[in-house]
Amino acid sequence: MNLELPSVWNLIISTIVFFIAAWYINRYMDGQKIGKGMTRGLLVFLVASLVSWGAGEAVDWVQGPQPASQASKDLSNLLKDAGKPQP
């Protein structure tokens, strides 16, 4: 199983996009005179999260494939060495 960590640009851009999306969604809902409450807050959070996730995926797509992490190879080698008898 190959787990890759998100790039730094992915985290930075998706965080910025989250706050911008939340601001615009709140502004839109204020214009529609939708009352503030827990349901509205949850809706804003979910939609802003989806937009942010999409922006992060777009950043990853633009950057192309990233090299595989050495950590998984190092861990498997460490586990192989741990099973060997000590001299």
Amino acid identity for residue 72 in this structure:
S
Instruction: Rounding to the nearest 10 degrees, give the CA dihedral for residues 4, 50, 54, 56.
Output: -50
Which range marks the domain in which residue 27 is found? 8-63
Higher pLDDT, 81 or 69: 81
Spatial separation of the C-alpha atoms in residues 58 and 76, rounded to whole Å: 32
Is 49 a domain residue? yes
Specify the number of domains making up the chain.
1
14 contacts 55 by C-beta, under 8 angstroms? yes
Q: What is the pLDDT of residue 17?
A: 96
3-state secondary structure of 59: helix
pTM of the model: 0.68
Confidence of residue 28 (pLDDT cuts 50, 70, 90): very high
Share of the chain above pLDDT 70, in %: 69
With bands split at pLDDT 50, 70 and 90, how would you rate the model's confidence at 3?
Answer: very low
In a domain, 32, yes or no: yes
How much helix, strand and coil, in percent to the nearest 5, is found in the chain? Answer: 75, 0, 25
CB atoms under 10 Å from CB of 29, counted, come to: 15
Q: What does pLDDT average to over the chain? A: 82
Is residue 41 domain-resident?
Answer: yes
Q: Each residue of 30-71: pLDDT tens digit?
A: 999 999 999 999 999 999 999 999 999 998 888 777 665 555
